[in-house]
Amino acid sequence: MKKLKQTVGLGVMAMTLVGISTFVGAADRYGNTSESPTSAVQGTNSGQITGLVQNADASNKQLQVKDNSGQVETLNVSDATVIKRDGQTVQLADLKMGDPVIVEGATLTK
């Protein structure tokens, strides 16, 4: 009987570890990568954000965009960031409040 309890206990532990590793793997795939376009995890790649410019600060390389759900995202812009307005690639300094944009490759700051 004691051996049966040990075997069952080990089986439960193994299933728990498999469940935890599956959950962590899913969070890594969907919570912390560009596959999640509206991820709000600080320091992660934003993926793609579509919305209206709230503020464009070229000197600090930051852009605030109100996304389609109404949430304002603050983005750090780098040389790898692509900003499109009306289908054309534009520079951060070219933007003004209210411009509709699609931003790819920026990093969320909040």
pLDDT 10s digits, 2-30: 554 455 444 445 454 444 443 444 333 33
Residue 25 CA to residue 32 CA, distance in Å, equals: 10
Q: Indicate the Cα dihedral angle 86, 88, 89, 93, nearest 10°.
A: -60
Domain that holds residue 102: 48-108
- Checking if the pLDDT of 61 tops 50, the result is yes
61 occurs within a structural domain: yes
Closest residue by Cα to residue 79 from 50, 104, 108: 104
18 occurs within a structural domain: no
Mean pLDDT of the chain: 73
Percent of the chain residues topping a pLDDT of 70: 57
37 occurs within a structural domain: no
User: Residue 109's CB: how many other CB atoms inside 10 A?
Assistant: 14
Closest residue by Cα to residue 57 from 49, 65, 45: 65
5 occurs within a structural domain: no
Q: How many domains is the chain built from?
A: 1
